[in-house]
Chain A
Amino acid sequence: MRELIVAYQRRVAGFVYAITGRSDSIEDLAQMVFVKMARAINRLKAPEQFESWLFRLARNTCIDHLRRQKLRRIFTPFAPEHENVPEPDGAVDSEELDALRHALEQLRPKDRALLALVQEGRSHAEIAEICKTSVAAVKARLHRAREELRQHYQSDED
């Protein structure tokens, strides 16, 4: 189990960051993903689908986290100055990463997850299964998400 966590921790961290955009929640969320993995791995029927299954866990954990955060804000709203607090100084030390992060922020969480799954090398069929939708829908949403990302990324660079 330990080897499995070590082997995937970097990829899961990148995946979590692409969806949440917050450096300070990477480790907590990655830990939640691996705890879920450890508890449910015995129920995985097809070991060859492990990666796809792991990234589904990671996607759902991040989406749930963002949803809970949004819900919490409804009941305990933050003051305007506390909403969307930027990452602390030095958290992001690269301009291009900053541009990508800002571009990703403009997208819906589900679209960010879609792009992150592609970055992880998941096929359209796998993504369709993970997102519980059709391959055609994945292709259409992916095309739209890529276009949006490109627009925001370019405008950030200008």
Chain B
Amino acid sequence: MKTEPQAWLRLQEHASAQISPGFADRVLRAVRGEESPLIVAHFGMAIVTAALCLFAVLLFQARTSPDSAANLAGWKEIAAQASDFDQGL
């Protein structure tokens, strides 16, 4: 006569036999594996973003500084001409 409680016991035995040796260590490795790449990814993203911003600022400065110097020189010349003109009057 087969009884249901015996069957539940068999089910438990069968299921636990499917867990291969070293299971707990694999779980712990999976936990660590999930955590560390996440931290690295977060820091990596922050560093890349900061580097891109710095690069953009430097590039903008490098491109605009010769123009600014030229503009300044142009204005100085105009200011000098205006001053000469004022003195001439």
Contact = CB atoms under 8 A, between A and B. Distances in A.
Given A1-B28, A5-B27, A16 B15 contact: yes
Nearest to B4: A153
Interface residues of A, number: 36
Interface stretch (B17-25, B39-47, B52-60): B17-25
Given A13-B15, A13-B16, A13-B19, A100 B7 contact: yes
Interface residues of B, dominant DSSP: helix
A137 B28 CA distance: 38
B63 interface: no
A9 B11 contact: no
Size bracket, chain B contacts: 20 to 34
B28 A119 contact: no
B69 interface: no
Contacts of B18: 13, 17, 23, 26-27
A84 interface: no
A15 B8 CA distance: 10
Contact of B6 (A30, A39, A96, A101): A96
Given A94-B14, A100-B4, A9 B24 contact: yes
A16 B11 CA distance: 10
Interface in A126-155: 149-150, 153
A97 interface: yes
A27 B30 contact: no
Contacts of A101: 11
Interface in A29-86: 30-31, 34-35, 38-39
B64 to A, nearest CB: 49
B19 A30 contact: yes
B19 A150 contact: no
B19 A9 contact: yes
A150 to B, nearest CB: 7
A14 B13 CA distance: 7
A92 interface: yes
A96 B24 CA distance: 30
- Sorted nearest first, the 5 A-B pairs with minimum C-beta distance are A17-B15, A10-B16, A100-B7, A14-B12, A97-B10
Interface of A: 1-2, 5-6, 9-11, 13-18, 23, 26-27, 30-31, 34-35, 38-39, 92-97, 99-101, 119, 149-150, 153, 157
